[in-house]
Amino acid sequence: MNLGDMKNIDTDQSTNPADDEEPSMRKRIIVILTAILLFIAGMLLAPPSVTPDSYSITINYGNQQFNFQLNISETVSTPSNLILVQSDSYNLSYYAVQPYAVGQVIKFDLVVPDDPVDSSEIYGRIKSANLNYSFLAEKISSDTYRYSFKILTNTGIALGLLFAIAFLWLTEVIPLAASSLLIPVILVLFKVQDATTALEPFAEPIIFLFLAGFLMAEAMHRTKLDQAISYRLFSLIPPDGKILLIALMSLSAFFSMFMSNTAAVAILVPLSLQLLKGADLGDAKYRKTTVLGIAYAATVGGIGSLIGTPPNIIATELLREFNPDYEITFVQWFLFGLPVVILMVPIIFIYLWFRFKPEVSHQVIRHAQLETRRFIKEELPFTLDQKIISAIFLLTFGLWLTSSFHGISAGIIALMAAVLLFFVGQLQQSDLNVINWNALLTFGGGLSLGALIIQTGLADYIGSRAVIIADFPLIIILFILSLIGLILTAFASNTASAVILVPIVLPLSYILGISPVILAVLVAIASSVDFAIVIGTPPTMMAYSTGLFNTQEIFRIGIVLDFVGLIVITLLSWSLFGFVAGII
């Protein structure tokens, strides 16, 4: 194919033939029955809900222990700031409003002398005839610890749903969106929430940020602005194989920050293959290096911005649900995501280059560039439509960066841009039909399930079981958590991995004495870093679909990058992320 045929290249997402195979009715029935059994198992294994009763409360701080009785009622409110213990050295106060409600937190604030005490000796315990477990403490000032006990309510439903939905997401015997829509159905049928509350997560402002992002990406695609940018970049770079590869990878990472990584690969892989083929860049090793480099860069690029991949937003929303004091804005996410992209893209480039050792002539690349410039001039001029979309994108990005000044949320800014694209004719009604509604509904279900795990107290309960890890070095704990995220995302989608892990790891911040922001970001990013499993991420699957690789080859190449990625994420979480978390 010559360059003149490039305008006919189909850059839509390639599909895996296996995806088109409908599961048999027998398989559907087996999976659904298994999900029901898992739901029942979760209900049986969950900690018992707190019921109106008198509970023994113990507050431990070093060798000090404070004991008292706590009466929990469904209707009676407890006065604020009730002083339980007061002395020259210690002051313990109790605060709660309307106990025995979903999401209700009972707080014990202990003012203590400035003495060093091991974190494993700072905890509380609640005990009754059918309930006995520890709860965690957070240092909120130089001399004050807050022991937080979240009322355990509907924990059986929460754990049952976690088991069942995770299994349905893993098997995909029914669409991910259908599994997600099952969550509000169960919550209403079991009278955990009313219909309005159960459906609220599906209309979170962050969902509309994703929706508007999809629409803006579609406008870019339909006007071939993405191709115009890619071709012009290729025609302008120095005629060097290394520079060409790093340029394509950088462009792939950049596109993935603001559109799906699948779309980025769907644009750049066919384009690069035709450029290489049309210009007789015949080195097969260079083609393989380029295709895999683009795919891996797209996977990493999604980490860079808040809308780059669903786990980013899952983490920020569940973090806000866990503690409203922690809220990561669109701009603030760059402080976490961009360092990962800036480090990982060059690492991937260097690794792939030395792994394949491709050889490409400068003269051949120069010839390809001349052909590309001719093609741009004759077939792909910069149109008025592309200029309009570029201006709207720049305006949108500028508003995102200055949101701290004007106070307009990122979601509303994105919706304004989408509506403006409709007004100027760059989006049509038909474009709404190509939106990835499956992803949006799955995302809403993920927010609903994650919030339920936090609100019912199940996350705190599971977190309190992990107190044994408090004695491990922090950097080892961070590596283990990121490894769990990577392993889980090899079997489930990165969205499902984040939904399952983020609520569970957030309470660990109390044990570890670090900001919950660090753990939320760590797990979200680790859920998106998978290079070894072909079906692990859509970009890797699309690289495999070119026919240049087999699954074993991709695994051998990608497993090295998996562990390099884990090390990079762990080191950033241990150092830079802690600093950033302290200033947001």
281: pLDDT confidence band, cut at 50, 70 and 90?
very low
Cross-strand partners of 66 = 59
Q: How far is CA 457 from CA 1, 124, 383, in A?
A: 60, 15, 55
Query: 453-482 burial string, b = 16+ CB within 10 Å, else e?
Result: bbbbbbbbbbbbebbeebeeebeebbbebb
| pLDDT tens-digit series, residues 524-582 | 999 888 888 876 777 887 888 778 888 888 899 999 999 999 999 999 998 888 777 77
Amino acid (1-letter code) at residue 332: Q
Provide Rg for the chain, Cα atoms.
26
Cα separation, 29 vs 220, whole angstroms:
42
Coil, helix or strand for 46? coil
- Cβ contacts of 13 within 8 Å, gap of 6 or more: 262, 263, 266, 538, 542
Assess contact for 514 and 190: CB atoms under 8 A. Answer: no
| pLDDT tens-digit series, residues 148-172 | 888 888 999 999 999 999 898 888 7
Q: Does residue 185 carry a pLDDT above 50?
A: yes
Mean pLDDT (whole number) for 95-109: 75
Greatest mean pLDDT among 154-163, 218-227, 241-250, 374-383: 154-163
178: tokens are 């259908």
Please tell me what DSSP assigns to residue 507.
T
pLDDT, residue 10, reads 35
Return the higher-pLDDT residue of 427 and 467.
Answer: 427
Percentage of the chain modeled with pLDDT above 90: 19
Return the higher-pLDDT residue of 265 and 98.
Answer: 265
80: pLDDT confidence band, cut at 50, 70 and 90?
low
Cα separation, 161 vs 453, whole angstroms:
9
Cα separation, 573 vs 565, whole angstroms:
12
Torsion angle of C-alpha atoms 210, 496, 202, 332, degrees rounded to 10: -50
- Cβ contacts of 58 within 8 Å, gap of 6 or more: 65, 66, 67, 124, 125, 127
Amino acid (1-letter code) at residue 205: P
229: tokens are 């940018």
| pLDDT tens-digit series, residues 381-397 | 788 888 898 899 889 88
DSSP per residue, 512-561: HTS-HHHHHHHHHHHTT---S-TTTSHHHHHHHTTTS--HHHHHHHHHHH
Question: What pTM was computed for the model?
Answer: 0.79
190: pLDDT confidence band, cut at 50, 70 and 90?
very high
Coil, helix or strand for 132? strand
Coil, helix or strand for 63? coil
pLDDT, residue 97, reads 65
239: tokens are 């005629």
Assess contact for 289 and 352: CB atoms under 8 A. Answer: yes
Assess contact for 161 and 149: CB atoms under 8 A. Answer: no
